[in-house]
RNA sequence: GGCGACAUAGCCAAGUGGUAAGGCAGAGGACUGCAAAUCCUUUAUUCCCCGGUUCGAAUCCGGGUGUCGCCUCCA
């Protein structure tokens, strides 16, 4: 049974989809006016792992993540750059796709754009007006929170307390200070669409309600995003959706904790935003993914180069054991297992069960990684034993790693690189020198190859080679 | 003022009633022509502090301290 922490109830609740065997997930995606930063990346990576894991556990998953391609930030940025809002969106959607791919994030099943769902948005607003949950003030449509008794259920606040905390000037045309815009009347020079209330554009929150229900039905199984979306964004989505349908909007609300940069929240005003686009220039982006997985998703985490480097080394260790496994697998045969080997396969089964148990428990990726590290030690010990190894032991271990990697997604799969003929000759030559105990000549070849980014390792089973990841990373260019 | 999160070794980080996972870094050892890779040993009598409940608490309860966040656009 899979349990996930639910912001709505404050507990870890069992995952109970509306339709058995199927899960609909909606995650709030980026406003595509700039490159996304590493805090956004944490959320995207989490939902990527969640949907992959549910898929692994046999659910038929539909994962939807929107692009917000119309709002104040979009309009201002487009104006600044002297291009249209549409052109701006296209540029940064492309950038989003590149950067998420580098982080090992799979595309969602649907990536709807707000501007392509204006009819659904208008329809939803109309339903709210019909139910007296929204009202028209000179072409601006506001949601009337006072008419929705459950307002505040997600953020666990009541209306009066929210009002007392308001730090901005309140629009006097509103019936209640917390009322929010569903539709904004057209302003000169801004994109706008025809509606029953005149030309205008959607407000901030309505697109997610409209698009999520469009793709996933009126009750979602899982909805979420970063913790700072709890209020007001998700609170308002509940008001809009539940207000219109009378049905629970989402069964499970999942929120990902903050990532702070050197103990401070990233914000443009502090000038401490680190984008994935920038980070990719110097560091393997999969190390960032691994770093995120090494802590529980709900805990706040601090980011620094140093922490990222620690994570990168841990990731390297797991990649090495897989490299070691593959290398040996090519050189051994299957055979009858001895006692230690059958014990090892029993242990492998225990590791698999442990992996599933900890992931089932609120997606504890930190513990899942610990399982992989423990198996790494067991595996390396086996690989080092003088009695030799067997294919029918190594293969299931390797398969388990590859299986878990369909969820965690940080294993490098570039060992298929073909060595050039000349390099192969050099390696053969070095073997010859070694047989003659001409260590100086042999070492010279090893050093030369290292400079070219090829690392040679001598093992009792013969020489093996691999690509120098660190050298690769330093040379990485986007 | 309201709501919420977090505090575990040098660093990162799991663990939420049964006697402190895992990683990184450090030290010592094994293997090796030298490396690399790998393994072994070693690093928290203790989990921010003070009370309480319990046979038993890092874990539950009460109080305090500290850090951070939300209540305004934000992942």
Residue A242 shares a structural domain with residue A335: no
- Range A435-443 contact pairs with CB under 8 angstroms and sequence separation of 24 or more: none
**Nearest-CA residue relative to C1' of B13:** A295
Residue A183 lies in a domain: no
DSSP letter (8 states) at residue A450: H
Residue A328 shares a structural domain with residue A363: yes
CB atoms closer than 10 angstroms to residue A319:
20
Residue A228 lies in a domain: yes
Nearest nt (C1') to A317 (CA)? B23
Boundary residue ending a domain (A408, A435, A457): A408
Residue A402 shares a structural domain with residue A457: no
Residue A288 lies in a domain: no
- Number of domains comprising chain A: 3
pTM of the complete model: 0.94
Residue A116 shares a structural domain with residue A245: yes
Residue A100 shares a structural domain with residue A245: yes
Residue A402 shares a structural domain with residue A461: no
The domain spanning residue A376 has which CATH number?
Answer: 1.20.120.640
Boundaries of domain holding A459:
421-474
Q: What's chain A's length in residues? A: 478
Protein-contacted positions of strand B (CB under 7 Å): 1-7, 11-15, 21-25, 32-40, 67-75
Boundary residue ending a domain (A408, A431, A464): A408
Residue A159 lies in a domain: no
Local structure of A160: helix, strand or coil:
helix
Residue A103 shares a structural domain with residue A228: yes
Distance CA(A390)–CA(A367), nearest Å, equals 29
A104-CA/B29-C1' distance, Å: 40
Residue A240 lies in a domain: yes
Q: How many CA atoms lie within 13 A of A198 on its CB side?
A: 10
Distance CA(A36)–CA(A102), nearest Å, equals 13
**Nearest-CA residue relative to C1' of B3:** A157
Residue A220 is inside which H or E element, if any?
strand A220-226
Residue A126 shares a structural domain with residue A18: yes
Distance CA(A255)–CA(A28), nearest Å, equals 11
Q: Which residues contact A126 (CB under 8 A, 6 or more apart)?
A: A196
Residue A35 shares a structural domain with residue A113: yes
Residue A238 shares a structural domain with residue A312: no
- The answer to whether residues A217 and A247 touch, using CB atoms and an 8 Å cutoff, is no
Return the closest-CA partner of residue A360 out of A7, A144, A56, A111. Answer: A56
Residue A376 shares a structural domain with residue A447: no
The domain spanning residue A29 has which CATH number?
Answer: 3.40.50.620
- The answer to whether residues A266 and A304 touch, using CB atoms and an 8 Å cutoff, is no
Boundary residue ending a domain (A354, A385, A408): A408
> Cis (ω within 30 of 0) for the bond into A232?
yes
Q: Which residues contact A448 (CB under 8 A, 6 or more apart)?
A: A426
CB atoms closer than 10 angstroms to residue A373:
13
Strand order from edge to edge, sheet including A264-265: A264-265, A259-261, A301-303
Q: What is the pLDDT along chain A (478 residues), one digit of tens a residue?
A: 899 999 988 888 999 999 999 999 999 999 999 999 999 999 999 999 999 999 999 999 999 999 999 999 999 999 999 999 999 999 999 999 999 999 999 999 999 999 999 999 999 999 999 999 999 999 999 999 989 988 988 988 888 878 877 766 778 888 888 899 999 999 998 999 999 999 999 998 999 999 999 999 999 999 999 998 998 999 999 999 999 999 999 999 999 998 888 767 777 666 678 999 999 998 899 999 999 999 999 998 889 888 999 999 999 999 999 989 998 998 899 999 999 999 999 999 999 999 999 999 999 999 999 999 999 999 999 998 888 899 999 999 999 999 999 999 999 866 555 667 888 888 999 999 999 999 999 999 999 888 888 888 988 888 888 887 666 655 543 3
Is strand B within 7 Å of residue A450 (CB)?
Answer: no
Residue A390 shares a structural domain with residue A435: no
Residue A390 lies in a domain: yes
């Amino acid at each position: 049974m899979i349990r996930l922490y639910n912001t709505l109830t404050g507990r870890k609740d069992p995952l109970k989809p509306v339709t058995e065997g199927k899960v609909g997930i909606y995650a709030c995606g980026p406003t595509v006016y700039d490159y996304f930063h590493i805090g956004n990346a944490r959320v995207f990576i989490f939902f990527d792992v969640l949907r992959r894991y549910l898929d692994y556990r046999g659910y038929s998953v539909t994962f939807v993540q929107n692009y917000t391609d119309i709002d104040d930030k979009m309009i201002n940025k487009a104006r600044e750059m002297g291009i249209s809002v549409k052109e701006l969106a296209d540029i940064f959607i492309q950038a989003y796709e590149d950067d998420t791919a580098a982080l090992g994030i799979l595309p969602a099943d649907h990536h709807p754009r707000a501007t392509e769902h204006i009819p659904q948005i208008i329809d939803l607003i109309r339903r709210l007006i019909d139910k007296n949950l929204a009202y028209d003030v000179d072409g601006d449509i506001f949601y009337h929170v006072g008419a929705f008794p459950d307002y505040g259920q997600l953020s666990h606040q009541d209306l009066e307390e929210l009002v007392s905390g308001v730090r901005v000037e309140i629009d006097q045309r509103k019936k209640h200070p917390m009322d929010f815009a569903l539709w904004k009347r057209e302003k000169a020079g801004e994109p706008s669409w025809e509606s029953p209330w005149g030309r205008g554009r959607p407000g901030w929150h309505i697109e997610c309600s409209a698009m999520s229900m469009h793709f996933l039905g009126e009750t979602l199984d899982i909805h979420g995003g970063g913790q700072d979306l709890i209020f007001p964004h998700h609170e308002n989505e509940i008001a809009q959706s539940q207000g219109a349908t009378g049905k629970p909007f989402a069964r499970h609300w999942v929120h990902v904790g903050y990532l702070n940069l050197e103990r401070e929240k990233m914000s443009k005003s502090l000038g401490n935003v680190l984008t994935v686009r920038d980070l990719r220039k110097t560091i393997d982006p999969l190390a960032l993914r691994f770093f995120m997985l090494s802590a529980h998703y709900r805990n706040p985490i601090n980011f620094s180069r140093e922490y990222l480097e620690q994570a990168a080394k841990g990731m390297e260790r797991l990649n090495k054991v897989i490299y070691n496994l593959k290398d040996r697998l090519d050189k051994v045969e299957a055979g009858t297992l001895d006692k230690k080997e059958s014990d090892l396969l029993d242990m492998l089964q225990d590791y698999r069960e442990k992996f599933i148990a900890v992931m089932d428990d609120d997606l504890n990726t930190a513990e899942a990684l610990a399982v992989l590290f423990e198996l790494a030690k067991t595996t390396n010990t086996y690989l080092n034993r003088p009695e030799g190894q067997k294919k029918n032991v190594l293969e299931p271990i390797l398969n388990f790693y590859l299986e878990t990697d369909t969820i965690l997604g940080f294993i490098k799969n570039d060992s298929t690189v073909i060595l050039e003929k000349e390099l192969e000759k050099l390696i053969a030559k070095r073997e010859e020198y070694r047989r003659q105990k001409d260590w100086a000549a042999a070492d010279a070849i090893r050093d030369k190859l290292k400079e070219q980014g090829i690392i040679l390792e001598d093992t009792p089973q013969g020489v093996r080679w691999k690509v120098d990841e660190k050298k690769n990373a330093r040379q990485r260019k986007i």
